[in-house]
């Protein structure tokens, strides 16, 4: 019995490799630092999905079809009723996705890539009392998400930053939501069922729910001068510093640096709150020094959520939507893993050790 399945190998994959000692993430043979800043969302989606569906996936074909699919999926936004609009955005988005047909083919995969990208901005606008903005099929997925969110064309730097985020989080080994997707796929239930299970796993605070609290922490710290004192007090209260530490990485999470780099063009062109970035850098430096002092035997470094919070905030996503944006990016990884499991894996059916009472004859 291995509680939490730590160190248990449950799948063979050609999709991604997480090296926790070296701090390296490889996606289909390409190191993350070579991918981010060069590849768009569509490039990465084609990289992950090609060879796993019932037709080849090329970047230009995927881009054109995905744009048209966003327009098709938008018709489902009308199913958003009062009950759904009261739910947290990720739950409302999941409920709308649950209305879509199941299947294993390219068309189903495409619909699932388009759905969260269309539903999340629509849900956010409806919850603010604003009309949803229809997709523009000719735009890239990242540009269209921002256009649907903010009702206006985004800047080049904003599109590049969202592409960098979606590429960075596209796949990450056998994390909890990806495992959930593979378990459902192993029963041959269909890709929509796999993605719904994965969203359920993602929204938990131990998985995809952490970046909102990073912003809360920065706001509570207040100023650069107060960073050290605030962090020491938080640790004295037994709290964890949000955006630090990781189950697998024993060094800096490579995704944190990818996102830090992606913020730079926005900062250089005045499209972010510079004071917040300065404060975040001061908090990061202070936290690393204090954690090193307090936990000399446990390497604790910055993780992906720290810079996710800054980047998504700069792109004007409200913090309650951060988990939903994570789902937009990770859906391609979930689909690729689900297909890999269907094509090559067996039904996932582990065993449990019974520790309850045994039947006793009277
Ligand atoms: N701040 C302060 N101390 C931390 C810490 C943090 N962010 N992360 C881990 N630690 C400490 C723990 O208190 C523990 O100390 P102890 O042995 O004295 O009790 C030690 O480091 C090991 O922690 P553990 O819970 O075994 O690590 P884990 O690998 O199971 O946890 C996380 C990984 C991500 C859940 C954990 O680092 C955390 O809670 N981070 C903050 C939340 C966060 O940023 N989540 C996003 C992850 S991508």
Take atom 44 of ligand 1 and give the residue whose Cα is closest. 243
The CA distance from 116 to 203, in Å, is 14
Q: Give catalytic residue positions.
A: 246, 305
Q: Is 255 in the pocket of ligand 1 (CB under 6 A)?
A: no
Query: What residue owns the CA closest to ligand 1's atom 26?
Result: 247
Regarding the beta carbon of 173 and ligand 1, being less than 6 Å apart is answered no
Q: Give the angle 175-176-180 at the CA atoms, nearest 5°.
A: 115
What six digits make up the tokens of 175?
Answer: 């994390």
What's the 207 CA to ligand 1 centre distance in angstroms? 12
Dist. CA 244 → ligand 1 center (Å)? 7
Q: How confident is the model at residue 75 (pLDDT cuts 50, 70, 90)?
A: very high
Selected residue with higher pLDDT from 105 and 298? 105
Q: What is the pLDDT of residue 190?
A: 98
Question: pLDDT tens-digit profile of 179-194?
Answer: 999 999 999 999 999 9
In sign, the C-alpha dihedral spanning 196, 197, 198, 204 is positive
HSE (side-chain half, CA atoms, 13 Å) at 117: 34
Is the predicted pLDDT of residue 147 greater than 80, yes or no?
yes
- The mean pLDDT of 32-58, rounded to a whole number, is 97
Residue 290 CA to residue 326 CA, distance in Å, equals: 29
Percentage of the chain beyond pLDDT 70 is 99
3-class DSSP state for residue 26? strand
Listed ranges 43-47, 203-207, 299-303; the one with the highest mean pLDDT: 43-47
CA atoms within a 13 Å half-sphere pointing along the CA-CB vector of 351: 3
pLDDT score of 21: 92
pLDDT in tens, 1-29: 889 998 899 999 999 999 999 999 999 99
Q: Is 234 in the pocket of ligand 1 (CB under 6 A)?
A: no
- Whether the CB-CB separation of 127 and 84 falls below 8 Å is answered with no
State yes or no: pLDDT of 210 exceeds 80. Answer: no
pLDDT of residue 36: 97
| Cβ–ligand 1 contact at 290 (below 6 Å) | no
Quick check: CB of 303 below 6 Å from ligand 1?
yes
Q: For atom 2 of ligand 1, which residue has the closest CA?
A: 240
Residue 213 has pLDDT above 90, yes or no: no
Arithmetic mean of pLDDT over the chain: 95
- Site to probe by mutation for ligand 1, drawn from 206, 240, 246 as the one with most ligand atoms within 8 Å of Cβ, is 240
Q: Is the pLDDT of residue 233 over 90?
A: yes
* pTM exceeds 0.85: yes
Backbone angles phi, psi at 193, to 5 degrees: -65, -40
Averaged pLDDT, 219-235: 95
For residues 249-274, average pLDDT: 93
Please give the pLDDT value at position 209.
74
Residue 170 in tokens:
């596209």
What value does the mean pLDDT take over residues 48-68? 97
Question: How does pLDDT run across 272-320, given as a tens digit for each residue?
Answer: 999 999 999 999 999 999 999 999 999 899 999 899 999 999 999 999 9
DSSP annotation of 54 reads S
Helix (H, G, I), strand (E, B) or coil at 92: helix
The whole-number average pLDDT for the span 141-151 is 98
Tokens of 95: 């409920």
């Amino acid at each position: 019995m291995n509680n939490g399945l730590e160190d248990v190998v449950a799948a063979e994959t050609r999709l991604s490799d997480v090296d926790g000692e070296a701090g390296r993430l490889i996606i289909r043979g390409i190191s993350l630092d070579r991918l981010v800043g060069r590849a768009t969302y569509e490039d990465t989606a084609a990289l992950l999905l090609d060879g796993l569906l019932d037709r080849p996936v090329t970047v230009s074909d995927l881009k054109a079809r995905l744009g048209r699919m966003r327009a098709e999926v938008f018709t489902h936004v009308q199913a958003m009723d009062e009950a759904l609009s009261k739910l947290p955005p990720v739950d409302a988005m999941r409920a709308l996705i649950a209305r879509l047909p199941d299947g294993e083919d390219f068309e189903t995969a495409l619909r699932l890539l388009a759905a969260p990208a269309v539903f999340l901005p629509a849900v956010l606008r409806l919850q603010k009392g604003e009309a949803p903005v229809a997709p523009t099929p000719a735009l890239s997925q990242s540009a269209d998400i921002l256009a649907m969110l903010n009702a206006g064309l985004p800047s080049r730097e904003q599109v590049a930053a969202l592409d960098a985020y979606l590429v960075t989080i596209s796949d990450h080994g056998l994390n909890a939501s990806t495992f959930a997707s593979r378990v459902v796929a192993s029963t041959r239930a269909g890709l929509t069922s796999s993605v719904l299970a994965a969203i359920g796993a993602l929204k938990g605070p131990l998985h995809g729910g952490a970046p909102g609290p990073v912003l809360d922490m920065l706001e509570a710290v207040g100023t650069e001068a107060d960073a050290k004192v605030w962090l020491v007090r938080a640790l004295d209260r037994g709290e964890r510093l949000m955006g630090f530490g990781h189950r697998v990485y024993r060094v800096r999470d490579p995704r944190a640096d990818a996102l830090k780099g992606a913020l730079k063009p926005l900062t250089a062109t005045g499209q972010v709150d510079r004071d917040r970035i300065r404060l975040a850098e001061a908090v990061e430096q202070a936290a690393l020094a204090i954690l090193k002092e307090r936990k000399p035997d446990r390497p604790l470094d910055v993780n992906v959520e720290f810079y996710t919070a800054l980047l998504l905030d700069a792109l004007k996503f409200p913090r309650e939507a951060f988990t939903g944006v994570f789902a937009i990016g990770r859906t391609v990884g979930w689909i690729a893993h689900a297909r890999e499991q269907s094509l090559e894996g067996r039904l996932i059916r582990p065993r449990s050790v019974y520790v309850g009472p045994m039947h006793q004859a009277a």
